[in-house]
Amino acid sequence: MTSTSGPTPASDVPTTFRLFIAGAWVDGVAGETFESLNPADRRDVIGRFQAGSAADTAMAIKAAETAFPSWRATPAPKRGEIMYRFAELMGRHKERLARAMTREMGKVIAEARGDVQEGIDIAYLMAGEGRRMFGDTVPSELPDKWAMSIRQPIGVAGIITPWNFPMAIPCWKMMPALVTGNTVVFKPSSDTPHCATLLVELMAEAGFPPGTVNLVTGSGEAVGNTIVDSPDVPVISFTGSSATGKSIAERAGRRLKRVSLELGGKNGVVVLRDADLELATDGILWSAFGTTGQRCTACSRVIVERAVADDLVKRLADRAKTLKLGYGLDAGVDVGPLINPGAVEKVGRYVEIGRGEGELVIGGTAAGDAALAHGNFFSPTIFSGIKPMDRIGQEEIFGPVLSVIPVDDFDAAITALNQTRYGLSASIFTRDVNTAFRAMRDFEAGIVYVNAGTTGAETHLPFGGWKETGNGHREAGHAAIETYTEWKSIYVDFSGRLQRAQIDNQ
């Protein structure tokens, strides 16, 4: 069964979904497809999706190139109006989108609603940007001369996204790209093509003109590489693993493309002896085991003053024991599955490494419950007595594994927190305002929380990380539009004579 885009029918035969190129839903030229499965129950096939090829991707790039001149010429407030309509549509369909997300990606329904809401929030923020997009108008150093700067779009933006925020992250990228006048070729993760399709359906309904938004599902190799290597895609925005990000940066670097990278993390929470331990326990559990530890901002290291380490570990373990694993649409479930069997295997490998480095306090196994046997479940896991440079405390696991690292004092805590090659998110629990300000100043991270966990970014501030978490670009906030615009500085001389800057004004 094939649908136009298409909606999930009430049938046992999985729907076959299509690519979206130049405003039309089309089959891939090779006619090959792949399945998307429910990670909570792999017997549930969500649909079949086109395994897009280099030829399909080239067509999508051509469509985006063709649409660019008229989209660029569309007044930015008008582009914003279409984005407002998209935000409204997302709001109207929020529950349907969230439920589809839980089915395909696994996060529990409350978190899936939050993911959709992030998409809505960034769409509204960027729609407003259509009436701002500020440049500078400054006094000239010469008389009768005007000096100003404006932003202009770059061209076709290649948008390559992961599965863990399957609606929020594509929106974080596509909204600033589109409102600033770029057109888009969107390649979603092969684990969440249905979420991407639902999003693009609503974009089409909102009225983005044909060719401004193109969706090509398929592998990183066939679709991703073609986008990255194309001379007709001058800007790439990628979120995913550090390994893929580095290879994209190398290849795109050969063509001097602009590349925005949002990569891995190993986010730490510092807990000092004066902290409210109950609040810290709440914040850590939410950050470590929410989305089954698969957030880029997930907390996977707790750096705790030795004086309160045992107390904190006990509280964490007691509470972690009560978390209910299961299908995210079922009532009372706290923790959903991992994204795929490969992730279960990877988390299991790290647990083995952890056994040799510290003490396993709780968890450590794929969930054995017969009811969960067809899903990719792994129980919330805590290790204590980990040293700052142990592998389990250093490498990104991307699963529900928390390492507790005891230290002597605040100075040692700052050193340990900063001793990672990543720098996305960090937090501190303390009641001392002076210590909190030192942490805000000295933590090497793009996002810092005080008396909250490591997750919970809002869309109107810049989002991104230091060190190997990225390459200096930011998503969200006004900062997001930097990635998708070129600056143009303009001088208008209305003196009627030759005036030479730096010479005639001496």
Among candidate residues 104, 129, 201, 262, the one labeled active-site is: 262
Q: How far is the CB of 223 from ligand NAP (least distance, A)?
A: 7
- Which of 454, 450, 458, 457 lies closest to 430, judged by CA? 450
The CA distances from residue 185 to 40, 169, 188, 232, 293, in Å, are 30, 14, 10, 11, 29
Residue 80, amino acid: G
The smaller minimum CB distance to ligand NAP, of residues 106 and 406, is found at 106
The smaller minimum CB distance to ligand NAP, of residues 74 and 418, is found at 418
Q: Is 387 exposed, middle or buried (0-12, 13-18, 19+ CB in 10 A)?
A: middle
Q: How far is the CB of 430 from ligand NAP (least distance, A)?
A: 26
Per CB under 6 A, 170 contacts ligand NAP:
no
Alpha helices in 162-305 (DSSP H): 168-179, 193-206, 225-229, 242-253, 277-289
Site for ligand NAP in 203-232 (CB under 6 A): 219-221, 224-225, 228
The smaller minimum CB distance to ligand NAP, of residues 265 and 375, is found at 265
Per CB under 6 A, 51 contacts ligand NAP:
no
Does the active-site annotation cover 296? yes
Q: How far is the CB of 217 from ligand NAP (least distance, A)?
A: 8
Q: How far is the CB of 448 from ligand NAP (least distance, A)?
A: 15
Q: SS3 of 342, please?
A: helix
Please give the structure tokens belonging to residue 315: 């509280």
Number of residues in contact with ligand NAP, rule: CB under 6 A?
33
Among candidate residues 296, 305, 475, 482, the one labeled active-site is: 296
- Residue with structure tokens 């990628």? 238
- Which of 469, 477, 480, 481 binds ligand NAP (CB under 6 A)? It is 469
φ/ψ (deg, to 5) at 146: -110, 140
Per CB under 6 A, 239 contacts ligand NAP:
yes
The smaller minimum CB distance to ligand NAP, of residues 298 and 361, is found at 298
Site for ligand NAP in 123-162 (CB under 6 A): 160-162
User: Segment near ligand NAP (CB under 6 A), from 182-190, 303-311, 433-441, 478-486?
Assistant: 182-190
Contact indicator for 234, 257 with CB cutoff of 8 Å? yes
- Residue with structure tokens 């979904």? 17
Per CB under 6 A, 163 contacts ligand NAP:
yes
Contact indicator for 389, 419 with CB cutoff of 8 Å? yes
The CA distance from 208 to 309, in Å, is 54
Does the active-site annotation cover 88? no
Q: How far is the CB of 69 from ligand NAP (least distance, A)?
A: 27
Q: SS3 of 286, please?
A: helix
User: In what order do the strands lie in the sheet containing 235-239?
Assistant: 24-26, 19-21, 213-215, 183-187, 156-160, 235-239, 258-262
The CA distance from 88 to 130, in Å, is 16
The smaller minimum CB distance to ligand NAP, of residues 158 and 380, is found at 158
Site for ligand NAP in 251-270 (CB under 6 A): 262-265
The smaller minimum CB distance to ligand NAP, of residues 410 and 449, is found at 449
Per CB under 6 A, 164 contacts ligand NAP:
yes
- Which of 154, 179, 296, 404 binds ligand NAP (CB under 6 A)? It is 296
Per CB under 6 A, 199 contacts ligand NAP:
no
Q: How far is the CB of 117 from ligand NAP (least distance, A)?
A: 17
The residues pairing with 10 across neighbouring beta strands, listed in sequence order, are: none
User: Segment near ligand NAP (CB under 6 A), from 124-132, 243-251, 354-362, 480-488?
Assistant: 243-251
Site for ligand NAP in 378-397 (CB under 6 A): 396
- Which of 15, 189, 435, 459 binds ligand NAP (CB under 6 A)? It is 189
Beta carbons within 10 angstroms of residue 450's beta carbon: 14
The CA distance from 141 to 85, in Å, is 44
The smaller minimum CB distance to ligand NAP, of residues 364 and 399, is found at 399
Q: How far is the CB of 263 from ligand NAP (least distance, A)?
A: 5
The CA distance from 372 to 367, in Å, is 7
Q: How far is the CB of 488 from ligand NAP (least distance, A)?
A: 29
Q: How far is the CB of 299 from ligand NAP (least distance, A)?
A: 13
Residues 6+ apart with CB under 8 A from 10: none
User: Segment near ligand NAP (CB under 6 A), from 12-20, 59-67, 242-250, 406-414?
Assistant: 242-250
Please give the structure tokens belonging to residue 477: 């906030």
Q: How far is the CB of 329 from ligand NAP (least distance, A)?
A: 23
The CA distance from 320 to 350, in Å, is 19
The smaller minimum CB distance to ligand NAP, of residues 393 and 406, is found at 393
The CA distance from 176 to 481, in Å, is 6
Per CB under 6 A, 424 contacts ligand NAP:
yes
Per CB under 6 A, 426 contacts ligand NAP:
no
- Which of 43, 112, 36 lies closest to 372, judged by CA? 43
Q: Is 202 exposed, middle or buried (0-12, 13-18, 19+ CB in 10 A)?
A: buried
The CA distances from residue 62 to 72, 161, 234, 447, in Å, are 16, 21, 13, 38
Contact indicator for 272, 436 with CB cutoff of 8 Å? no
Per CB under 6 A, 115 contacts ligand NAP:
no
- Which of 241, 340, 451, 471 binds ligand NAP (CB under 6 A)? It is 241
Write out the catalytic residue numbers: 262, 296
- Footprint on this chain of ligand NAP (rule: CB under 6 A): 160-165, 187-191, 219-221, 224-225, 228, 239-241, 244, 247-248, 262-265, 296, 396, 398, 424, 465, 469
